[in-house]
Structure 1
Amino acid sequence: MEDSPHGSRATRQAQAQRIGAYLTAVATAAGYDVRRRQGGRAQLAAVTGLSLTTISRTLEGKTLPLPSQLTTWATVLNLDHGRMLVESGLIPEQRGPRPAGREVSSAALSPDEAMNAWGITDPIIRKTLSGSIVQAIKLQVEIDAARDGGLLYEG
């Protein structure tokens, strides 16, 4: 049997365990008691809109969350998306949008162009990051539209 294009089963399992440990730590720090039968998992399910099974399997490191689910976790737990990707082990610390000695183009990049420029090749990481970028762009458009329509007040 061949490994999937997303990496070996062992690699995916290790990633799931790192993400589970990270999300358990940050959820606990945010005040959710995510130990079994303590109510925190059910609270997270309620505020994220994810099923209790998904919450449990993610926290236990049994499954990799979908990119949209990572975005939801980050939003609910008030986490920086990029920091979450680094801290959970999905992307290495040294990679970033502005490597030393490189000029930054003033032209807008698509998420795929940005990930190519950053050297991000793993399909799961690309999907996760792309989902976060797309969500951030949508939120910015909404904020800009609200501000332009006079719905947001800056003080």
Structure 2
Amino acid sequence: MEDPPHGSRARRQEQARRVGAFLTAVATAAGYDVRRRQGGRAQLAAVTGLSLTTISRTLDGKTLPLPSQLTTWATVLNLDHRRMLVESGLIPEQRGPQSVEKDVVVASVLSAQEAMDAWGITDPIIRKTLGGSITQAIQLQEELDAAGDWGWSLWGEPGRTD
């Protein structure tokens, strides 16, 4: 039997261990003593706004952080978000657009479905959500383009003053 589209349980557990090891190393390098009962985990909980249980389960590799939690970790530990995702093993180095120029090329050539395939997004719920967001963004951009310089007024910004 094939793994479900979002990955097997063993794969997720391995990812959680890799992320936990990475965040433990980075937090330690940032001056947090995250060994049990040393105070660093409680300090991280205080500065991230995450619970001590969430911090501990993440560092121990028992659970994968939510995307919003990864953003919080990156901000608190002063990490580049992409670097954190790559170095923790959540995404491979080559996945996704690498530059603004490539973003433009990808967006003009690929459909939303093809882009999600290229980026390795396989979870059906994430694909549906992202696909809807992309479709809505394209429609909004078309409306702005059709409105010309007056398009900014759609967002509460001042329109053209000439």
The TM-score range, normalised by the shorter chain, is 0.5 to 0.7
Shift of 1:114: 9.2
> Which position in structure 2 is the counterpart of 1:54?
54
**Counterpart AA for 2:49:** G
Asked if 1:97 corresponds to 2:97, the answer is: yes
Q: Deviations for 1:128-149, whole angstroms, at most 9, x for unmatched residues?
A: xx8xxxxxxxxxxxxxxxxxxx
d(CA) in 2 for partners of 1:34 and 1:105? 43
Shift of 1:20: 0.2
> Which position in structure 2 is the counterpart of 1:28?
28
Asked if 1:71 corresponds to 2:106, the answer is: no
| Aligned-partner SS, 1:105 | helix
Q: Deviations for 1:5-52, whole angstroms, at most 9, x for unmatched residues?
A: 421110000000000000000000100000000000000000000000
> Which position in structure 1 is the counterpart of 2:18?
18
Shift of 1:104: 3.2
> Which position in structure 1 is the counterpart of 2:9?
9
CA contact 2:58–2:65 (8 Å) conserved in 1: yes
Structure 1 segments unaligned to the other structure (5+ residues): 131-155
Using CA pairs under 8 Å that are at least 6 residues apart, name the structure with larger relative contact order, 1 or 2: 1
| Aligned-partner SS, 1:75 | helix
Aligned-residue CA RMSD (Å): 3.2
d(CA) in 2 for partners of 1:76 and 1:123? 28
CA contact 2:97–2:103 (8 Å) conserved in 1: no
Aligned residues: 123
Mapping of 1:38-49 within 5 angstroms? 38-49=38-49
d(CA) in 2 for partners of 1:46 and 1:71? 16
Q: Give aligned-pair identity as a percent.
A: 75
Name the one with the larger helix percent.
Answer: 2
| Aligned-partner SS, 1:25 | helix
> Which position in structure 1 is the counterpart of 2:138?
none
Structure 2 segments unaligned to the other structure (5+ residues): 131-162
TM-score after normalising by structure 2 = 0.64
CA contact 1:33–1:39 (8 Å) conserved in 2: yes
Distance 1:80 1:123, change over 3 A: farther
